[in-house]
A and B are shown apart, each in its own frame.
Chain A
Amino acid sequence: MSQTTAPASQAQPDVLAVAARRRLRFPAALRNPLAVTGTAIIVVWLVLALLAPMISPADPLAQNFDRLQPPSAAHWFGTDQLGRDVLARVLDGARVSIILPLLLVVSSLLVGTIAGSIAGYFGKVADEVIMRIADLVFAFPTIILAMVIAASLGPSLTNAVIAMLIVSWPAYARVTRSLVVVASRSEYVVAGRLLGNSPFTSLGKDILPNIIAPVVVLATLDVGTAILLLAGLSFLGLGAVPPTPDWGAMVSDGVQNFSSWWISVFPGLAILTVVLAFNFLGDALRDGLDPRTADAVKGRAL
C-alpha cells in the first residue's frame, strides 16, 4: 500500500497526467482497514486454493486415518467420519467453493449485462420480453428456485452452477437496464449515433465505460452471496457430489456427526472468512466507486 501513497507526495506540474495516473492507481476507497483486510484474506485463500495439491497434508479423498479424531498435531483439523483429513479437504474444497462462485458471478455478470443492455437500449418488445422473464425469476425466493432447478436436473456441480446462473442474472439485467436507459439519452451517445455508429458500437464504446462501475460493485458484493448459495445447495445434497470436497457438503457431514465439532466448524469458518472478506471488499468498492447504487444494493451484503 505504501506504493500508492508515495507518488502522490511528488507534485507533478502536468495536472492532466496526474489525473490520468491517479485513475489507474489503487483507488482511494480501498485504502481503508476493512478493504485491506478483505483483500488480504481473499488473496490468501486464492493462493491456498491454487497451491492446494502441493501444500495439502494428505490426499483429500484418501480414507487412510482413524475415524473422527479430534484436531491434533498430526491432523490439525481432525479427521472426518470416513477417516479423511479435514484440513486437506478444507484446502481442496477452496477450489470448488471459491473459484466456482467466482466463475459463476462472472458469467451471470456477462449474461445479465448483455440482456440488460439489449433491454435498455432497444426497448419495446426486447425490453418487455427480457424484463418480464427477469421478473418471473425475481418472483421466487432465490434459494428455493435454485433448489427446484438443481433437484430437477439432478445433483452435480455443473447443475448447481446452471441453477445459480438462472437465478442470479436478473439482478444484473435490472441494474444494467436502468443505467443504459439513462445513459442512452445522454448527448454524447446521441451524438455518436448521429455520426453513424451502429447500436453495438454505441453500447460498447459510449455506454459501457459509463455503466460498468456500479455493475462491477454489484458483482463483488454478489460473490459472498454466490459462495453461500453454492454451499447451501451442497449442504442440501444438491451441489457437489461426494466424495468431492466442498465446504457446504462438509458442514452437512458435520451435522450428522454432531459432537465431532471439528468436521463442520473448520469448513464453516472458511465460508465465514471468505464471505466476510468479499463483503468488506464489495462495500469498500461501492463506497468508493458508486455511491449511487449504495441504496439499491443495501441489504444484499451478508
Chain B
Amino acid sequence: MLSPLRRIAGIVGIAVVATLGITACSAGSSDSSSSGGKSVVVDSSFDLKTADPNREYETTGSIVAKALYETLLTFKGDDVTKPIDGLASYEMNADNTVMTLTMADGHVFSDGTLVTVDDAVFSLQRVQGIKGNPSFLLEGITVAKTSDTTLTLTSATPNPALPYILPNPALSVVNKKVVEENGGTATDADGAEAYLNGASAGSGPYMLESFDVASQVVFTKNPKYTGDAPAYDRVVLRNVQGPTQKLNIQAGESQVALDLNPDQVAELGGSDVTVLSSPSRYMIFLLLNQDPSVSAITSNPDFLKAVKAGIDYNKIVDLAGDGSVQPGGFIPSLFVGAIDASDGNQHDVAAAKASLAASGYSGEDVTLNFPNDITVQGLSLQSVAESVQAQLKEVGINIVLAPAPVATELDAYRNGKETVGLWYWGPDFPDPSNYLAFTPGELVGLRAGWAAGADQTVTDLAAAAKAAVSTDERQSAYAALQKAQNASGPFVPLLQPAQNVVTSKSITAVSLNPVWTIDLAGIK
C-alpha cells in the first residue's frame, strides 16, 4: 500500500510531467506555424561572450551584433571582394592613408533618434578605447569628425584593407546618448557592457529581447529600421551542439542549423531539408620548417618540392566533404587575390619521387606536429594529418605524427620549433593583406623558420602586393605572390573546409557571409 503522502506526490508528479509535455508541444508548434507569430529558430554552437558590439570578436557575437546594429560600410550578400555603403559612403585618398566617410541620411536608432556622425565617431573610438578583442582592427588609425556629416580615418602607413575592415560587426555604430547614459565611454573605464547585454542601442533590423550567453538570444523586429523589413518578427538563436542540431532540424524544432559537419550533412540525404554548402574562410595548411637548426631535412628545397607534389589534394578535399575546396594559394577562394586550385600545387607522384631522390633524403622519420583537440568546421585536424601521412608514405617520406592538445602545441608553433606543422588560419578581416603574414620575416613566416631575407623573390612580390592600390592591381600582385610562395615557400595550402547551413523547406533564402556567418534579417 502506498502512503497517502506518496500517492499525492505521485499525482503531482504526473501532473507536472503532463503540463511540461503539453507546453513543450505547444512551444514547438508555435515556432513552426509561421503565419501568426512569424518567428524562426536558429541553432548554433555558441562561443558567445557579450552582446556589446564593440567588445565582441567571436563568431556568435558577430551574428548577434550584425542583427542588432549597422556598420559604416558593409558587404552585399556573400561577396566580400567589394565593400558597399552602409551608414556612410567612403572615399580613399590616392595613397590609401586617409579615408573620408560621409554619413548617409535617414538612418535611425531603435529609439527613434537619427544616426549622426557623432555616434559613428564615438563608436569607433569606443572600440579603440576599451581595448577589447576587436581593438586591433583600428590599430594605428585616428578617427576624427571633420564636419556635421563627415569623419576621417587617418593612418600613418597606406592601409588599403580599411574598407574591408569597416564592415566587421565589431565596428558597429551604437547610440552615443543611450550608451553614455548607461556608463559608456570611449576609454577602458567603459561600463556599458552590462546595459548592452540587456538591451540593444543600434539601428539594425532587430532589437534585443533577451540575452543569455550560455543558452539563447532572442531578437524582435525593430519597427524603426529603415532598410528592407526582415521577414520574421522574432528570431531565437539557440546554443545547440552539432549532433542535436541535426535531430532538431529533422524534427522541425529549428529552421536553420549552422554547425553541421559534412558527414552529418551527408546523413540528412533523405530528409526534407535544404543544404547550402560553400567553402569557409578557414585555410588549413602544412608548414615545413626552413630553419636548418630545427630540421636539415625540411629546410631542403628539394624535399619541400617532394612534399608539395606528394600530397593528393583531391583526396583531402574528399575527406572534408561537399563544399570544401583546395585553395590555389594561401588566400582562400572567397577573397580578392585568390587563385584557382589549378594554379596551385598539383599531385604528381613521379615528380615527388624525383625531387625526393635529388634531396638526398634516405627514409629518416619526419615529425608532423598538430593539435588533436580542435576541429575546423567539424573536421578534425587528426584526420587530415593521418591522410597526409599515408599519402607521403607512398612517395617514400616517413612521417611520424605527434599530436598534442592545442594548449601545449601552440607554443611550439608560435616559437617556430615545429619540424612540420598542420594548422589553420582564420582571417581577421576579408582582405588579402591579412595574408602577408605568410611571407618571410612576418608572423606566420617566422613560425615556419622563414626569416626576413630568406627568399628575396617572395619578399619583393609581397612588397609589390602591399603597395598595389586598385583592385585589379592587387588581384594580380597577390596572385604572383602566391605562385612564388607555392614554388619556393614553406607553406602547403591544403584545404578550405566547407561551411554548411541546413534549413527546413519553409525557409526560402538565407544570407551567408564569411565575416558575420549569417545575417539573421536575411532569412526569408
Are A and B genuine complex partners? yes
B401 interface neighbour in A68, A241, A259, Cβ under 8 Å:
A241
Q: A237 contacts the other chain (Cβ, under 8 Å)? A: yes
The total number of A-B Cβ pairs within 8 Å is: 53
- Known contacts: A82-B319, A242-B382, A259-B263. The answer to whether A61 contacts B404 by CB under 8 A is no
* A residues whose Cβ falls under 8 Å from a Cβ of B: 61-63, 67-68, 81-82, 151, 154-155, 237, 241-243, 256-260
A154 interface neighbour in B246, B267, B390, B404, Cβ under 8 Å:
B404
Q: B402 contacts the other chain (Cβ, under 8 Å)? A: yes
Chain B positions 201-249 with a Cβ under 8 Å from a chain A Cβ: 243, 246
Expressed in whole angstroms, the Cα–Cα distance for A259 and B266 within the complex equals 11
Q: B405 contacts the other chain (Cβ, under 8 Å)? A: yes
B404 interface neighbour in A67, A155, A243, Cβ under 8 Å:
A155
- Known contacts: A237-B403, A241-B402. The answer to whether A259 contacts B264 by CB under 8 A is yes
Stretch at the interface among B4-12, B372-380, B441-449: B372-380
Expressed in whole angstroms, the Cα–Cα distance for A241 and B267 within the complex equals 29
Q: Is there contact, CB below 8 Å, between A81 and B267?
A: no
Smallest Cβ distance from B400 to chain A, in angstroms?
8
Q: Is there contact, CB below 8 Å, between A243 and B263?
A: no
- Known contacts: A241-B403, A256-B375. The answer to whether A68 contacts B389 by CB under 8 A is no
Q: B383 contacts the other chain (Cβ, under 8 Å)? A: yes
B386 interface neighbour in A68, A151, A237, A243, Cβ under 8 Å:
A243
B387 interface neighbour in A82, A155, A237, A256, Cβ under 8 Å:
A82
Q: B392 contacts the other chain (Cβ, under 8 Å)? A: no
With both beta carbons as reference points, the residue of chain A lying nearest to B407 in the complex is identified as A151
Chain B positions 389-439 with a Cβ under 8 Å from a chain A Cβ: 389-390, 400-405, 408
Q: Is there contact, CB below 8 Å, between B390 and A243?
A: yes
Expressed in whole angstroms, the Cα–Cα distance for A67 and B383 within the complex equals 12
Q: Which residues of A contact B458 (CB under 8 A)?
A: none
Expressed in whole angstroms, the Cα–Cα distance for A67 and B262 within the complex equals 12
Q: Is there contact, CB below 8 Å, between B387 and A63?
A: yes
Expressed in whole angstroms, the Cα–Cα distance for A259 and B265 within the complex equals 11
Q: Could you jot down 8 A-B contacts, CB within 8 Å?
A: A63-B390, A68-B263, A81-B263, A82-B390, A237-B403, A241-B400, A242-B382, A243-B401
Expressed in whole angstroms, the Cα–Cα distance for A243 and B383 within the complex equals 9
Expressed in whole angstroms, the Cα–Cα distance for A81 and B263 within the complex equals 9
Expressed in whole angstroms, the Cα–Cα distance for A61 and B405 within the complex equals 23
Chain B positions 315-333 with a Cβ under 8 Å from a chain A Cβ: 318-319
Q: Is there contact, CB below 8 Å, between B263 and A242?
A: no
A82 interface neighbour in B264, B383, B400, Cβ under 8 Å:
B383
Task: Using A155-B404, A259-B264 as known contacts, list a sample of 19 further A-B pairs with CB atoms less than 8 Å apart, ordered by residue number in A.
Answer: A63-B390, A67-B318, A67-B319, A68-B263, A68-B266, A81-B319, A82-B387, A151-B408, A154-B402, A237-B373, A241-B403, A242-B382, A242-B386, A242-B401, A243-B389, A243-B390, A257-B263, A258-B264, A259-B243
Smallest Cβ distance from A284 to chain B, in angstroms?
40
With both beta carbons as reference points, the residue of chain B lying nearest to A68 in the complex is identified as B263
Q: B120 contacts the other chain (Cβ, under 8 Å)? A: no
Smallest Cβ distance from B401 to chain A, in angstroms?
5
With both beta carbons as reference points, the residue of chain B lying nearest to A61 in the complex is identified as B390
Q: Which residues of A contact B400 (CB under 8 A)?
A: 241
4 A-B pairs closest in CB distance: A237-B372, A258-B243, A243-B386, A63-B390
Q: Which residues of A contact B68 (CB under 8 A)?
A: none
Expressed in whole angstroms, the Cα–Cα distance for A12 and B85 within the complex equals 106
- Known contacts: A63-B387, A243-B386, A259-B243. The answer to whether A155 contacts B267 by CB under 8 A is no
Q: Which of B383, B387, B400, B401 has the most chain A CB atoms inside 10 A of its CB?
A: B383
Q: B385 contacts the other chain (Cβ, under 8 Å)? A: yes
With both beta carbons as reference points, the residue of chain A lying nearest to B393 in the complex is identified as A61
Smallest Cβ distance from A238 to chain B, in angstroms?
9
Expressed in whole angstroms, the Cα–Cα distance for A40 and B229 within the complex equals 72
Q: Which residues of B contact A243 (CB under 8 A)?
A: 386, 389-390, 401
Smallest Cβ distance from B383 to chain A, in angstroms?
5
Expressed in whole angstroms, the Cα–Cα distance for A259 and B268 within the complex equals 11
Q: Which residues of A contact B403 (CB under 8 A)?
A: 155, 237, 241-242
Q: Is there contact, CB below 8 Å, between A81 and B383?
A: yes
Smallest Cβ distance from A279 to chain B, in angstroms?
31
Q: Is there contact, CB below 8 Å, between B380 and A237?
A: no
Q: Which residues of B contact A63 (CB under 8 A)?
A: 386-387, 390
